[in-house]
Structure 1
Amino acid sequence: MIRGWLAEGIIMVQKTPYYSYVVGELPKGCQYCVRGEKLVLFVTGVCPRNCFYCPLSPWRRKDVVYANERPVRSEKDIIEEAKIQDARGAGITGGDPLARLSRTVEYIRLLKEEFGKKFHIHLYTTGILASEEALEKLYDAGLDEIRFHPDLFQPNSKFFEREIENMKKAFDFGWDVGGEVPAVPGFEDRIKWFASLLDKLGAKFLNINELEFSETNLRALLDRGYKPVSDESSAIKGSLEMGLKVLEWGEKNTSLNYHLCTAKLKDAVQLRNRLKRMAKNVARPYMEITEDGTLRFGIAEYDDLEELYEFLVEEAEVPREWLYINWEKKRIEMPVEVAEELADAIEGDVKFYIVEEYPTWDRIEVERIPL
């Protein structure tokens, strides 16, 4: 049972407005994240481990860099993406960012120099490569929060002892230290052990993520007997419930802050809020911003776009400022109302649609309605 505050002021497990659960307070990095204010900076897909539950897509399991959905080819791409998002911080992830330490340190410095010391940066690492020298470089660059993800779920891991010993070194620096692990059903005792260790070392928090199926971990999870919550969900049955048990145990037995991050939070809150922030900065005058942060507008498709454009301006008398030729996607974009009127008035090979797409670099189309 999820409880609220007791009259005596004792902290219990609380459900947040973000469809997640917390004991104490959200880690600072999460506070920015749920508001959609964190740039997701993927610095490399390289990782010294090969976790059976890793959700990374095949095209990211390489030495590639992304700022949100944008492939990074220069530092300007990172800054531009952060500005489009109105980001107030960044989460540095991978792979393991420490597998490309110089690059990671360079990006931390870049963001701090561009946006100031208050730009909050947190980083995820396995801990395998977190030597004292590496940690010192990250701290000196301005990293605010470091989250360790040791190999709790694979028996006889050759990395485990090194991960734990390296994690202990992180407490010599003046940043926030915490743990972040998936809620893998069947490993409740291992996560409790990790929580106890974090508490003993003086960590601030433990984040537990609801485990989900992905394209790349599906077979490994099914082979281990894990099942989805339902046909409509990618969340794994029993993961959320186990996470809640750890939180209730942790509230009674440790002084850590806990956050159980659900699959719903990532889609319904984090992504949605980020899209809204981006949409305000990328929407053209003819585009509507929906409640979900997507862009909605009309389009016309035809073999000769220049011919169609001139016809719409000269013959249909559509103001030029209402039309935009998108050469890359081979279409003319316009307000929804204009597309609806033109679809009723123009016959022939011109096709009109109402489309809805993400305001992200890749502009994924989520809906197309023919007129």
Structure 2
Amino acid sequence: MVWETPYFSYAVRELPKGCQLCVRGEKLVLFTTGKCPRDCFYCPLSETRRGDVVYANERPVKSLDDIIEEALLMEARGAGVTGGDPLARLDRTVEYIRLLKEAFGESFHVHLYTTGALATKKNLEKLYDAGLDEIRFHPDLFNPNSRLFKVEIENIRNAFDFDWDVGGEIPSIPGQFERMRRYADFLDNLGAKFLNVNELEFSETNLRAILDRGYRPISDESAAIKGSLELGLRLLEWGEENTSLSYHLCTAKLKDAVQLKNRLRRMARNVAKPYMEITEDGTLRFGIAEYDDLDELYTLLVEEAEVPAEWLYLNREKGRIEMPEEVAVELAEAIEGDVRFFIVEEYPTFDRLEVERIPLP
């Protein structure tokens, strides 16, 4: 039976362990490289991640300590290792998996995504020895006659020589039901545990390629592609009757409304300063004041406006003074001149993405 999860997604049987942690916001997203042996038209990677770069969630990784710090801030119980293809920088990826296992213990669950192109027996053995718990293969189903596809399919067989969870992860691309079905059959016959299906979405980098192939978004407000969800449900219904695999249809709504929100909430608890309010969405809400001379403004607020210094934080990097929202509202009414007051909302992430800014009169 296809069942609807509490996370706006759909499943057959049980969710893979990696997905269970992910939807609760408990997984660190460890991006080990943007390099990949393939060039899929639907690849959503941003331009900043298409090179040989490393990120832990939104944090650029300059040292091993960056990975550990990010995991601690979000109270991670596991990690999803992704790219690009993490096997394109195998030694680095292996080092990171071993680092996480040593720092947080064997129960810290790590899953990894790969095309399969580089999944030789020797490379898989290194991942297994490092402590990888779950591996997900994404072969190029949409170029089944290519040499690379044949290599990927043969390499996937290698994964069943190790005692870990093996599954697949593919996008739901309208018009490709037969290829998706054949891949599900292939995995089932090998003894895989699951097949994850992702609702197709557009991004800034893949939009032109998606539109050129005739696909369209479901609405002006959504990045999801028309027909993708319906096709995914059709595959789950077929798979429930014809295979023993577990399936998870991961929707665009799950990523935004559940996974990200839950991760932000976990981080906000550890990141929020005393003057910040944590919203229902996991963002940080507080007041700010901007002025050409921050030191002069700080003196004005403390000495003339008599604002307690512990209510103020001078953020030189962003060129502002931060404070509780109610203090900013009161000061905006009392102080005349060129001082500008705002209420802002930011993600509690490393990049502190600003999602709202309300000017105060």
Give TM-score scaled by structure 1 length: 0.96
Residue of structure 1 in register with 2:247 after alignment: 258
CA distance in 1 between partners of 2:79 and 2:116 (Å): 19
Residue of structure 1 in register with 2:277 after alignment: 288
Residue of structure 1 in register with 2:233 after alignment: 244
Residue of structure 2 in register with 1:120 after alignment: 109
1:138 has 2:117 as partner: no
- Opposite residue 202 of structure 2, the aligned amino acid is F
Task: Classify the secondary structure of the residue corresponding to 1:207.
Answer: strand
Q: Deviations over 1:274-332 (max 9, x none)?
A: 00000010000000000000000000001111111111111111111100000000000
Residue of structure 2 in register with 1:197 after alignment: 186
Structure 1 residues 137-156: aligned runs within 5 Å: 137-156=126-145
- Measured after TM superposition, the shift of residue 156 of structure 1 is 2.2
Residue of structure 2 in register with 1:228 after alignment: 217
CA distance in 2 between partners of 1:222 and 1:157 (Å): 24
- Measured after TM superposition, the shift of residue 189 of structure 1 is 0.6
Residue of structure 1 in register with 2:149 after alignment: 160
Q: What are the ranges of 5 or more consecutive residues in structure 1 without an aligned counterpart?
A: 1-11
- Measured after TM superposition, the shift of residue 190 of structure 1 is 0.5
Residue of structure 1 in register with 2:347 after alignment: 358
1:46 has 2:64 as partner: no
CA distance in 1 between partners of 2:304 and 2:118 (Å): 66
- Opposite residue 292 of structure 1, the aligned amino acid is D
Structure 1 residues 270-285: aligned runs within 5 Å: 270-285=259-274
Residue of structure 1 in register with 2:337 after alignment: 348
- Measured after TM superposition, the shift of residue 155 of structure 1 is 4.5
CA distance in 2 between partners of 1:189 and 1:73 (Å): 44
- Opposite residue 33 of structure 1, the aligned amino acid is C
- Opposite residue 285 of structure 2, the aligned amino acid is R
1:315 has 2:304 as partner: yes
CA distance in 2 between partners of 1:318 and 1:175 (Å): 58
Residue of structure 2 in register with 1:25 after alignment: 14
Q: 1:78 aligns with which of 67, 75, 88?
A: 67
- For the 8 Å contact 2:291–2:320, the answer to whether it is kept is yes
CA distance in 2 between partners of 1:314 and 1:57 (Å): 47
Task: Classify the secondary structure of the residue corresponding to 1:198.
Answer: helix
Give TM-score scaled by structure 2 length: 0.99
Q: 1:109 aligns with which of 89, 98, 102?
A: 98
CA distance in 1 between partners of 2:175 and 2:10 (Å): 20
Q: What are the ranges of 5 or more consecutive residues in structure 2 without an aligned counterpart?
A: none
Task: Classify the secondary structure of the residue corresponding to 1:147.
Answer: strand
- Opposite residue 62 of structure 1, the aligned amino acid is G
Q: Deviations over 1:156-200 (max 9, x none)?
A: 222111111110110010000000000011110101100011111
CA distance in 2 between partners of 1:299 and 1:131 (Å): 54
Residue of structure 1 in register with 2:314 after alignment: 325
CA distance in 2 between partners of 1:329 and 1:59 (Å): 22
CA distance in 1 between partners of 2:256 and 2:146 (Å): 32
Residue of structure 2 in register with 1:3 after alignment: none
- Opposite residue 19 of structure 2, the aligned amino acid is C
CA distance in 2 between partners of 1:212 and 1:17 (Å): 21
CA distance in 2 between partners of 1:53 and 1:307 (Å): 51
Residue of structure 2 in register with 1:90 after alignment: 79
- For the 8 Å contact 2:168–2:187, the answer to whether it is kept is yes
- Opposite residue 120 of structure 1, the aligned amino acid is H
- For the 8 Å contact 2:115–2:137, the answer to whether it is kept is yes
Q: Deviations over 1:200-231 (max 9, x none)?
A: 11000000000001111111111110011011
- Opposite residue 3 of structure 2, the aligned amino acid is Q
CA distance in 2 between partners of 1:70 and 1:247 (Å): 35
- Opposite residue 42 of structure 2, the aligned amino acid is Y
1:214 has 2:203 as partner: yes
CA distance in 2 between partners of 1:365 and 1:215 (Å): 19
Task: Classify the secondary structure of the residue corresponding to 1:159.
Answer: helix
Residue of structure 1 in register with 2:294 after alignment: 305
- Opposite residue 277 of structure 2, the aligned amino acid is E
- Opposite residue 123 of structure 1, the aligned amino acid is L
Task: Classify the secondary structure of the residue corresponding to 2:204.
Answer: coil
- Measured after TM superposition, the shift of residue 154 of structure 1 is 2.2
CA distance in 1 between partners of 2:321 and 2:205 (Å): 37
CA distance in 2 between partners of 1:282 and 1:138 (Å): 32
